[in-house]
């Protein structure tokens, strides 16, 4: 190891540790903050942001990087190379953006959120359009500061998933779209669709306490370590923190008990990843996740491939019925399985099932791509969204509130984030078939309530790899194949084809 490496690690770790404090404050804001304390929390986060920025742009980091990068990083180990690469990425981000730009962006992010919330409540896109114009301008400027002014959308994609480009996503999504559209049409046309809907409607009156007890059992059995994490209630479910302090949230509805359950299994997938990162490298560029698509693959794999399977419910259904005998008395096992795997096109992304969800993401990607290519103007977004909704989801929009105004992401300048969700689904399916090939008895394990083989395999191949490889490299290394939409299509056809009696 180069003598400069430990010093670099100490400095980046200092900045990272302060960033985890900011993360904890963010969690606390969603879970605990008294309503009247919002301003105080804002001041705390602003003070922290300043010290985090100072720590991240410490000139000693720049000097150490120059030393370590000399002669193309000759003499560094692979792990050192990863740490140096990530430290360079963070250092450039911290130092290449002028202070007045950072301030302008912070102000605009906050203003943008409130403008979006108001516009959505009042179904008023025109009042929101200038915010989007401004956010697009800021993104272009940010990309230019980082030397990526010629490809700002690629810059944004790379921000969430290092190495990803719009042309790569375009190819993957194009192929997926061709396969998904006929599959969704066939499912919707199936007589089973209305039975699935009716089965879901039977789930009523599940007390919150019982739901909480059950989902703790399930997530604990899957492998979430409650000695190094917790689950609480918040308005929007999320997972935050890393290493030994991973905090998930969920929310309960008495008449939709599957929501909290599958939501918390989803967050457990994220949580297992964060709990499984290489402990000795936490706080360095090696001890973090490999980007949002890989992160999403972990949540989706447990939520969909594992927890929506018959084998999974073979194990957990008796316990679930024992906890809720009255509520489940009139519901057969096949009905339960149908309710868990109901597919129905909806206008709202966050309400979508695992099949049509991908079409919502493709819609957003296609629109973002056109926006950045200058082929679509902000003022034409509502019409473009309507047309795309008809083409991809097969539904007609009656208001922008259920269309272009439904997502918060763009209000804070988070363009290029949506693709990760669908790429995560692709990666999950590709990992799934690889795992099945290595362990054909995997679903028999699940039926016995044993998830240890799958978790151990993910730990070894994904979690403890940290940020060594990009999403595309990681998939290639673990599955032996390039990332492709075909495993996802195969998985969806197999599960939903048999369930919905398709040819």
Q: Is 99 in the site for a second copy (CB under 8 A)?
A: no
Query: Is 49 one of the binding residues for a second copy (CB under 8 A)?
Result: no
CA distance 316 to 217: 10
Stretch that binds a second copy, among 13-21, 80-88, 335-343, 367-375 (CB under 8 A): 13-21
Residue closer to a second copy by CB (options 243, 497) is 243
- Token pair in block for residue 356: 């049509």
d(C-alpha 53, C-alpha 335), whole Å: 54
28 scored as a contact of a second copy (CB under 8 A): yes
Q: Does 311 bind a second copy (CB under 8 A)?
A: no
Local structure of 242: helix, strand or coil = strand
Applying CB under 8 A, the span of 48-56, 72-80, 129-137, 459-467 interacting with a second copy comes to 48-56
245 is an interface residue for a second copy by CB under 8 A: yes
Q: Rule CB under 8 A: which of 211-230 touch a second copy? A: 225-230
Question: CB of 253 within 8 A of CB of 211?
Answer: no
33 binds a second copy (CB under 8 A): yes
Q: Which two tokens stand for residue 123?
A: 């179904």
Among 4, 12, 18, 306, binds a second copy (CB under 8 A): 18
Q: Does 59 bind a second copy (CB under 8 A)?
A: no
Pick the piece of the chain touching a second copy (CB under 8 A) from 28-36, 149-157, 173-181, 205-213: 28-36
- 336-354 burial, b at 16+ Cβ within 10 Å, e below that, comes to bbbbbbbbbbebebeebbb
- Closest approach, Cβ 468 to a second copy, in A, equals 22
What tokens were used for 50?
Answer: 């300043």
Q: Which of 267, 274, 296, 366 is catalytic?
A: 267
> By CB under 8 A, which span of 160-168, 198-206, 239-247, 337-345 interacts with a second copy?
239-247
CA angle 241, 298, 92 (to 5 degrees): 55
Detail the DSSP E strand segments found in 72-162: none
The verdict on whether 142 is a catalytic residue reads: no
Query: Of these, 30, 44, 67, 461, which contacts a second copy (CB under 8 A)?
Result: 44
Question: What is the rounded distance in angstroms from the CA atom of residue 113 to the CA atom of residue 411?
Answer: 5
Tell me: does residue 317 bind a second copy (CB under 8 A). Answer: no
CB 298 within 8 A of CB 462: yes
Residue with tokens 């963010």: 26
CB of 27 to a second copy, least distance (A): 9
Question: SS3 of 233, please?
Answer: strand
The window from 46-54, 146-154, 250-258, 473-481 that contacts a second copy (CB under 8 A) reads: 46-54
Number of residues that bind a second copy (CB under 8 A): 33
Contacts of 53 (CB under 8 A, 6+ apart): 94, 102
- 241 strand-pairing partners: 246
According to DSSP, the β-strands at 245-250 and 229-233 are: parallel
Backbone angles phi, psi at 231, to 5 degrees: -130, 135
Answer for which of 26, 30, 48, 144 binds a second copy (CB under 8 A) is 48
Nearer to a second copy, 229 or 487 (CB): 229
Instruction: Provide the annotated active-site residues.
Output: 267
Residues forming the site for a second copy (CB under 8 A)? 14, 17-18, 20-21, 24-25, 28, 32-37, 39-41, 43-44, 47-48, 50-51, 55, 225-230, 243-245
């Amino acid at each position: 190891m180069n003598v400069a490496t430990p010093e670099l690690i100490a400095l980046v770790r200092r900045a990272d540790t302060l960033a985890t404090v900011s993360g904890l404050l963010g969690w606390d804001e969603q879970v605990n903050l008294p309503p009247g304390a919002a301003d105080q929390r804002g001041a705390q986060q602003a003070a922290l942001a300043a010290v985090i920025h100072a720590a991240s742009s410490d000139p000693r980091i720049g000097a150490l990087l120059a030393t370590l990068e000399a002669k193309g990083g000759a003499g560094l180990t692979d792990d050192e190379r990863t740490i140096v690469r990530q430290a360079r990425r963070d250092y450039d981000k911290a130092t290449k953006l002028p202070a007045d730009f950072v301030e302008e962006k912070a102000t605009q992010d906050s203003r943008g959120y409130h403008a979006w919330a108001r516009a959505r409540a009042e179904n008023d896109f025109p009042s929101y359009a200038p915010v989007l114009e401004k956010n697009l301008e800021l993104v272009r400027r940010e990309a230019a500061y980082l030397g990526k002014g010629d490809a700002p959308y690629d810059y944004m994609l790379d921000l969430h998933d290092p190495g990803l480009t719009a042309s790569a996503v375009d190819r993957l999504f194009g192929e997926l779209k061709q396969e998904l559209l006929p599959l969704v049409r066939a499912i919707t046309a199936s007589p089973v669709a209305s039975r699935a809907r009716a089965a879901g409607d039977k789930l009523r009156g599940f007390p919150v306490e019982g739901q909480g007890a059950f989902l703790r059992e399930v997530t604990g059995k899957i492998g979430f370590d409650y000695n190094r994490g917790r689950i609480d209630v918040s308005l929007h479910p999320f997972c935050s923190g890393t290493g030994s302090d991973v905090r998930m949230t969920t929310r309960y509805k008495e008449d939709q008990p599957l929501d909290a359950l599958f939501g918390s299994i989803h967050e457990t997938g994220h949580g297992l990843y964060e709990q499984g990162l290489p402990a000795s490298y936490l706080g360095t560029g090696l001890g973090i996740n490999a980007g949002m698509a890989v992160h999403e693959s972990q949540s989706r794999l447990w939520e969909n491939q594992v927890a929506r399977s018959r084998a999974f419910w073979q194990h957990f259904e008796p316990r679930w019925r024992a906890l809720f005998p009255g509520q489940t008395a009139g519901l057969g096992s096949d009905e339960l399985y149908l309710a868990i795997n109901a597919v129905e096109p909806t206008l709202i992304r966050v309400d979508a099932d695992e099949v049509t969800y991908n079409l919502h993401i493709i819609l957003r990607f296609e629109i973002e791509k056109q926006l950045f290519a200058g082929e679509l103007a902000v003022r034409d977004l509502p019409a473009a969204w309507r047309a795309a909704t008809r083409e991809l989801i097969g539904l007609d929009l009656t208001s922008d509130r259920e269309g272009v105004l439904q997502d918060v992401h763009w209000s804070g300048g988070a363009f290029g984030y949506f693709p990760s969700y669908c790429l995560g689904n692709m990666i999950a399916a590709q990992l799934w078939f690889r795992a099945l090939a290595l362990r054909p008895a995997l679903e028999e394990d699940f039926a016995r309530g044993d998830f240890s083989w799958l978790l151990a395999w993910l730990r070894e191949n994904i979690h403890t790899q940290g940020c060594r490889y990009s999403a595309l490299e990681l998939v290639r290394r673990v599955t032996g194949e390039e990332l492709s939409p075909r495993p996802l299509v195969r998985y969806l056809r197999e599960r939903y084809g048999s369930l919905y009696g398709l040819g």
